[in-house]
C-alpha cells in the first residue's frame, strides 16, 4: 500500500533494514509462499541489503542444512525462474535456530542469533517475527518473545509480529487471544495477516471506486439491487483434513476473507490512505452488518457438505472419506449467507455470499447487480424485458473488471442483447508472477499496517458469524452430504435467492 500511495512516478519504497525470523520455518507456508515472496521482492530490488532470515522451528536442522533445504524448495516453488546470483544473496543471509516454542532457552539462543546477524548485516536491531505456526502457539510464542526481551522497541529499533490466520475460532477465543498478546505487544506491533488483502484485484477495488468519478454516485441502495460474493474452490481439503474438520467452510473463509471483500466494496471513502483512516472505514462496515438472529439462521444461512462427484471428468471422493476427516463428520464444506449492511448507503441491499470446496469452478468474484432501468421506453417494441447492468470484479483466476449492459441487436427490429466491457489486468499490466504475500511482507517491513487486520476488525468478523456457528453446532446437519463434488453447492442455497426473486450467477450450469 505504501508504494501505491506514493503516487505516479514515485520510487517504490524498499523495506527497512531488518532480520526476519520465521516461526515454523520448516513448514509448508515458508516454502510455498514466504521464501518465494521474499525472492520476488529481492528480484524487484525491494529488499534492503541489510537483511537476514532466521528460521525458527522444531525441525532438526542446523543453519547449513536449513539453507540446503530452502535452496531445494525455492527451485520448486518460486513463481519465476531462479537466478543463481539472487539466490546466493539469500543463502549468505539464512540462519537457523532449532527450538521448542514453549522453551525459554530457545528464545535465548534466538536472541543471540539475532544479535549475531544484526552485527553481520547491520539490520539496525529491527526484527520482523513471522508466526507461520499452528494457532495454539500464537500466544505462547508472543509471551516467550516478550519474556526474552525480544519485543522491546528501543533506541530507534522496531519489533513487529505477523500473525497468520485463523485468529481464534470464534468471538470469545479471538477476544481472548487479542487480550493475551496485547499484554506483550502494542497494537501497532501486531500485523494480523489476511492474504486476500495481498491480492492485486482486492486492492484495486479501492482504486477503482475512489479514483474514478463515475461509479461512486451510483454505489448505493438507490441504484444497486444486490451484491453477490463468491469464493469457490475446486480443490477438496487436500492434506488439511485434520484442521478443516474442526473448522469448516464458514470459519475458514467468512469472518476473514469474505468480510474483507464486503468491507472493501461497501466502505465509505476514507479521508486519506493513512492506515487507520482506511481501517476505520472498513471497521465501520463490519460493525454495521447485523448478525443473523438465531431464529433466522436456518432461513438466511445455508450449509453443505460434498459427497462423491466429478471433477473435470474424474471422479472425486466424498468429504467424509478424505484423510483425517471423521466418517460421520457434520462439518460444512460449503456456506452461503444473506447479510445486510445496516447503514444509510446500503439499507435493504442484500449481500449474498457463498464459499465452498469442490465446487464447479475455481472462482473468486464480487458481482454488483444494478437495478433494472425503467421499461417505459421499450413498451411498444419487441423488447420484453431490459436486463439490469452487472459489474463484476474478478479476483481470481482471471483478474479484471467487467461491465455487462444491453445493446441493440443489429437488424430492423428493436431487440436487445447482453454484452460485456471487459478489462483484464494481464492485457494492460502483464502478469507479474506473485505469491500474494509480497506486498504484505514489504508493508510490514515499512511499517504500513493498512492491509492488516486490527483487533476490532477481527472481532467484528467473528461477531457476525458467531450466531450461525452456534446454531449449526447445536443442530448438526442431518442431510449431509447434500451436494456432489464438482457442482455449485446444495439446492437450498438456490432457494436462498429464489425466495427473493433472484438467482446466483452460473445457476444454470449443472
Ligand atoms: C485459506 C483457507 O485461508 O484460504 C483455505 O484456509 C483456502 O482453506 C484458501 O483454500 C483460499 O485462498 P486462495 O488465495 O486460494 O483463494
Q: What is the DSSP letter of 184?
A: T
SS3 141: helix
Residue ranges of alpha helices (H) inside 152-230 are: 171-181, 200-210
Query: Residue 498 contacts by C-beta under 8 Å, 6 or more apart in sequence?
Result: none
Give which of 261, 252, 279, 264 is closest to 167, Cα–Cα.
252
Residue nearest to atom 15 of ligand 1 (CA): 233
Provide the pLDDT for residue 6. 44
**What is the whole-number distance in angstroms between the Cα of residue 6 and the centre of ligand 1?**
30
Ligand 1 pocket member 252 (CB < 6 A):
yes
Burial category of 441 from C-beta neighbours within 10 Å (exposed 0-12, middle 13-18, buried 19 and up): buried
Please state, in angstroms and rounded to a whole number, the distance separating the CA atoms of residues 255 and 410: 47
Ligand 1 pocket member 365 (CB < 6 A):
no
How many other C-beta atoms can be found within 10 angstroms of the C-beta atom of residue 258?
Answer: 26
Please state, in angstroms and rounded to a whole number, the distance separating the CA atoms of residues 15 and 158: 13
Annotated catalytic residue, options 75, 257, 287, 380: 257
Per DSSP, the residues of 67-133 read HHHHHHHHHHH-SSPPPHHHHHHHHTTEEEEE--TT-HHHHHHHHHHHHHHHHHHT-TT-EEEEE-S
**What is the whole-number distance in angstroms between the Cα of residue 194 and the centre of ligand 1?**
10
Among 32, 135, 203, 252, the mutation site with the greatest number of ligand 1 atoms within 8 A of its Cβ is: 252
In DSSP terms, 56 is beta-bridged to 23, 97
Supply 493's cell numbers: 442455497
SS3 188: helix
Residue nearest to atom 9 of ligand 1 (CA): 253
Give, in order, the Cα–Cα distances in Å from 506 to each of 230, 352, 391, 418: 11, 14, 15, 15
Ligand 1 pocket member 263 (CB < 6 A):
no
Q: State which H helix or E strand residue 474 sits in.
A: helix 455-474
**What is the whole-number distance in angstroms between the Cα of residue 217 and the centre of ligand 1?**
33
Per DSSP, the residues of 440-471 read HHHHHHHT--TTSB-HHHHHHHHHHHHHHHHH
Per DSSP, the residues of 20-60 read EEEETTTSHHIIIIIHHHHHHHHHTT-S-SSEEEEEEESS-
In DSSP terms, 365 is beta-bridged to 230, 394
Query: Residue 439 contacts by C-beta under 8 Å, 6 or more apart in sequence?
Result: 1, 3, 198, 203, 451
Give, in order, the Cα–Cα distances in Å from 184 to each of 24, 161, 175, 187: 20, 11, 15, 10
Residue 257 annotated as catalytic: yes
Among 167, 195, 260, 333, the mutation site with the greatest number of ligand 1 atoms within 8 A of its Cβ is: 195
- Alpha-carbon dihedral angle through residues 334, 335, 336, 338, given to the nearest 10 degrees: 180
Give which of 392, 404, 451 is closest to 229, Cα–Cα.
392
Provide the pLDDT for residue 5. 40
Please state, in angstroms and rounded to a whole number, the distance separating the CA atoms of residues 127 and 112: 13
Ligand 1 pocket member 233 (CB < 6 A):
yes
**What is the whole-number distance in angstroms between the Cα of residue 49 and the centre of ligand 1?**
32
Ligand 1 atom closest to 257 (CA): 3
Ligand 1 atom closest to 233 (CA): 10
Would you report the helix, strand and coil content of the chain in percent, each value rounded to 5?
A: 40, 20, 40
Residue nearest to atom 5 of ligand 1 (CA): 252
Q: Crossing angle for the helix pair 138-147 and 104-121, nearest 10 degrees?
A: 70
Lookup result for grid cell 438456490: 494
Query: Residue 380 contacts by C-beta under 8 Å, 6 or more apart in sequence?
Result: none
SS3 281: helix
Phi, psi of 143 (to 5 degrees): -65, -45
CB 85 within 8 A of CB 118: no
Residues of the chain short of pLDDT 50, as ranges, are 3-7
In DSSP terms, 189 is beta-bridged to none
In DSSP terms, 340 is beta-bridged to 350
Ligand 1 atom closest to 195 (CA): 14
Burial category of 63 from C-beta neighbours within 10 Å (exposed 0-12, middle 13-18, buried 19 and up): middle
SS3 262: helix
SS3 439: helix
**What is the whole-number distance in angstroms between the Cα of residue 365 and the centre of ligand 1?**
14
**What is the whole-number distance in angstroms between the Cα of residue 85 and the centre of ligand 1?**
33
Residue nearest to atom 13 of ligand 1 (CA): 196
**What is the whole-number distance in angstroms between the Cα of residue 97 and the centre of ligand 1?**
29
CB 477 within 8 A of CB 236: no
Ligand 1 atom closest to 199 (CA): 14
Amino acid at each position: 500500500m505504501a508504494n501505491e500511495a506514493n503516487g505516479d512516478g514515485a520510487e517504490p519504497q524498499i523495506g527497512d533494514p531488518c532480520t526476519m525470523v520465521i516461526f515454523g520455518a520448516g513448514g509448508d507456508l515458508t516454502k510455498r509462499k514466504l521464501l518465494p515472496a521474499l525472492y520476488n521482492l529481492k528480484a524487484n530490488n525491494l529488499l534492503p541489503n541489510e537483511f537476514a532470515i532466521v528460521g525458527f522451528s522444531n525441525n532438526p536442522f542446523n543453519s547449513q542444512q536449513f539453507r540446503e533445504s530452502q535452496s531445494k524448495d525455492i527451485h520448486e516453488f518460486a513463481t519465476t525462474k531462479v537466478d543463481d546470483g539472487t539466490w546466493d544473496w539469500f543463502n549468505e543471509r539464512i540462519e537457523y535456530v532449532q527450538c521448542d516454542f514453549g522453551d525459554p532457552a530457545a528464545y535465548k539462543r534466538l536472541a543471540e542469533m539475532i544479535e549475531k546477524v544484526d552485527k553481520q548485516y547491520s539490520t539496525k536491531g529491527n526484527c520482523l517475527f513471522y508466526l507461520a505456526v499452528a494457532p495454539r502457539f500464537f500466544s505462547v510464542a508472543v509471551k516467550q518473545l516478550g519474556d526474552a526481551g525480544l519485543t522491546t522497541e528501543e533506541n530507534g529499533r522496531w519489533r513487529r509480529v505477523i500473525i497468520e490466520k485463523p485468529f481464534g475460532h470464534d468471538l470469545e477465543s479471538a477476544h481472548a487471544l487479542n487480550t493475551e498478546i496485547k499484554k506483550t505487544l502494542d497494537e501497532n506491533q501486531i500485523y494480523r495477516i489476511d492474504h486476500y488483502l495481498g491480492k492485486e484485484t482486492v486492492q484495486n477495488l479501492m482504486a477503482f471506486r475512489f479514483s474514478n468519478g463515475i461509479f461512486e454516485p451510483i454505489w448505493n441502495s438507490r441504484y444497486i439491487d444486490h451484491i453477490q460474493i463468491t469464493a469457490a474452490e475446486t480443490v477438496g481439503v487436500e492434506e488439511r483434513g485434520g484442521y478443516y474438520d474442526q473448522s469448516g467452510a464458514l470459519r475458514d473463509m467468512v469472518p476473514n476473507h469474505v468480510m474483507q471483500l464486503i468491507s472493501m466494496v461497501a466502505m465509505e471513502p476514507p479521508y486519506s490512505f493513512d492506515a487507520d483512516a482506511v481501517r476505520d472505514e472498513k471497521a465501520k462496515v463490519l460493525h454495521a452488518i447485523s448478525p443473523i438472529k438465531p431464529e433466522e439462521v436456518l432461513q438466511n444461512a445455508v450449509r453443505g457438505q460434498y459427497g462423491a462427484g466429478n471433477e473435470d471428468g474424474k471422479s472425486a471422493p466424498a468429504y467424509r472419506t478424505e484423510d483425517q476427516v471423521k466418517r460421520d463428520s457434520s462439518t460444512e464444506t460449503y456456506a452461503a449467507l444473506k447479510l445486510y449492511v445496516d447503514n444509510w448507503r446500503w439499507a435493504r441491499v442484500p449481500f449474498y455470499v457463498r464459499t465452498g470446496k469442490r465446487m464447479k469452478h475455481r472462482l473468486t468474484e464480487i458481482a454488483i447487480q444494478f437495478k433494472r432501468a425503467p421499461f417505459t421506453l421499450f413498451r411498444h417494441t419487441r423488447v420484453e424485458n431490459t436486463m439490469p447492468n452487472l459489474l463484476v470484479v474478478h479476483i481470481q483466476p482471471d483478474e479484471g473488471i467487467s461491465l455487462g449492459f444491453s445493446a441493440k441487436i443489429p437488424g430492423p427490429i428493436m431487440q436487445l442483447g447482453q454484452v460485456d466491457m471487459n478489462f483484464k489486468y494481464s492485457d494492460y499490466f502483464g502478469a507479474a508472477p506473485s505469491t500474494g504475500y509480497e506486498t504484505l511482507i514489504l508493508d510490514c517491513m515499512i511499517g504500513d499496517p493498512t492491509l492488516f487486520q486490527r483487533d476490532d476488525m477481527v472481532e467484528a468478523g467473528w461477531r457476525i458469524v458467531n450466531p450461525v456457528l452456534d446454531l449449526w453446532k447445536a443442530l448438526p446437519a442431518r442431510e449431509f452430504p447434500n451436494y456432489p463434488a464438482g457442482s455449485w453447492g446444495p439446492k437450498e442455497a438456490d432457494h436462498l435467492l429464489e425466495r427473493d426473486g433472484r438467482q446466483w450467477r452460473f445457476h444454470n450450469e449443472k
